[in-house]
Amino acid sequence: MLGAGVAWSSSTASSGALVSTDWLAQNLGNPKVRVIEVSVNPGLYERSHVPGAVNFSWHNDLNDKVRRDIVGKEAFEALLSKAAVSPDTTVVLYGDTNNWFAAWGAWVFDIYGVKNVKLLDGGRKKWEAENRPLSNRVPEYAATSYRVGTVNTQLRARLPDAVAAAEGKSDAKLIDIRSADEFSGKIFAPAGVPELSVRAGHIPGAANVPWGQAVKEDGTFKSPEELKALYAAAGIDGVRPIITYCRIGERSSHTWFALSKILGYSVKNYDGSWTEYGNAVGVPINNPAGTVWAAK
């Protein structure tokens, strides 16, 4: 049965949003399952991937190549058609960097109303750590004619939404999932990452719960009970609508997934994130560290 084995990797709780590595290993040959890798490091998929998985490039496939925007509807339909996805297909997404970009993929899939989308709990990290099979063969599938139905724009927050929350003009609760040093303004971006904003700090009123607190050492999500306690301690209990953000929207997609798909809270992802907000003119910021200019 397709739903069997969809469970938390190391607990008795279950979630339809996740599949375990055991489940995926048992369903690699299932024609009703399409495995899709969404990684950010170049050449990773080409070197090796889950057998039968197709590759969606975060840069080139799930983002518009001209606009600062997610992939357009027609391009998304073409992408899923080429990957042989049908309305009754169970899609399993996974990727590198703790599934950040795979979670972005799940968010985009949700915007376009794709049903039966799962995340491989633990992503590439756990699959490889368990010495699961890998392949460098690019699979060939007969294309479908996938068509998007309703587009759910309510899953996406924009700059005015973030400003309204910062100024107390909406009841949305902001959650910044970057590191404590990014949140405070001590650093502009993680080590080795080029800076894209001229201001440091965070959006006023935002709670800070770094994304990594939602996962265990092996990269799998903590149990729903643990997640509820984690976010409740920061004032996030699901009573108010939530806006997640980070630097470019990928880490915040990971937290969006935890809050929305595992806990069932009402959540929007602000993919403009600090790259947009930290460069915007005339918006309020908090910067406890006092840094004000990144350009040199």
* 96 contacts 124 by C-beta, under 8 angstroms: yes
Backbone angles phi, psi at 82, to 5 degrees: -65, -30
pLDDT tens for the chain, 296 residues long, are 344 333 333 332 335 899 999 999 999 999 999 999 999 998 999 999 999 999 999 989 999 988 889 999 999 999 999 999 999 999 999 999 999 999 999 999 999 999 999 999 999 999 999 999 999 999 999 999 999 999 999 999 999 999 999 999 999 999 999 999 999 999 888 877 877 888 999 999 999 999 999 999 999 999 999 999 999 999 999 999 999 999 999 999 999 999 999 999 999 999 999 999 999 999 999 999 888 765 55
Element (H, E) at 46: helix 44-47
Of 6, 33, 117, 246, the active-site residue reads 246
User: In whole angstroms, what is the distance from residue 258 CA to residue 17 CA?
Assistant: 9
pTM: 0.92
The verdict on whether 157 is a catalytic residue reads no
User: In whole angstroms, what is the distance from residue 31 CA to residue 86 CA?
Assistant: 11
* 231 contacts 259 by C-beta, under 8 angstroms: yes
